[in-house]
Amino acid sequence: MSLSWDDDWPAPPRFDITNFALGAVVSSLLVGVLGYGTLIFFAAITPREEGVNIGGGLLVTLGCLLAVALGAAVTAWRARRRHSQPIPEGVSAGLVGFTLAVIGAGYLFFIVGDVPLLEIFSVLPLLLPGIGAAFAGAGLGSLGREQHRSW
């Protein structure tokens, strides 16, 4: 089969905004549960006189990166099933979800508790390794065998 200039060329896959939005919400919820949920848990069990819990901080970091990767993987998997762009949708949804969770939790901690606002946004440097986690999750989510139907 050869295509000439008169034939219609197949259209490139489009960026699915609804899949991106759903993936950003899923990623934001996962960061809230795995990242900030761990932070709240370790803040509750660590006495104030002991100071900072380094192990809890490492688990919060790992939880945030895992949540970004899972959100990106779910979004990329859905994009592959819907025949859209898995890698751009997954990576952008994971990073936007992380940023939304940081802003939302920061606002909540600032209003409810006496936590300084600059301490909450100290998690934002995780965006750099979060990019790697989002690419890894989107890459894993976009893997898979294409299912062709033979009628």
Nearest-CA neighbor of 52 among 146, 122, 137, 143? Answer: 122
Domain boundaries, the chain: 17-142
pLDDT higher than threshold 70 for residue 118: no
Q: What is the rounded distance in angstroms from the CA atom of residue 137 to the CA atom of residue 93?
A: 11
Nearest-CA neighbor of 80 among 137, 150, 8, 9? Answer: 137
pTM for the predicted model, two decimal places: 0.79
Residue range 51-103, pLDDT digits in tens: 667 777 788 889 989 999 999 999 999 998 888 889 999 999 999 999 898 88
Q: What is the rounded distance in angstroms from the CA atom of residue 102 to the CA atom of residue 90?
A: 18
- Cα dihedral angle (58, 59, 65, 66), rounded to 10 degrees? 150
Q: What is the rounded distance in angstroms from the CA atom of residue 77 to the CA atom of residue 4?
A: 34
3-state SS assignment for residue 36: helix
Q: What is the rounded distance in angstroms from the CA atom of residue 74 to the CA atom of residue 142?
A: 9
pLDDT higher than threshold 60 for residue 150: no
Strand intervals (E) in 7-144: none
The single-letter DSSP state of residue 126 is: G
pLDDT higher than threshold 70 for residue 1: no
3-state SS assignment for residue 82: coil
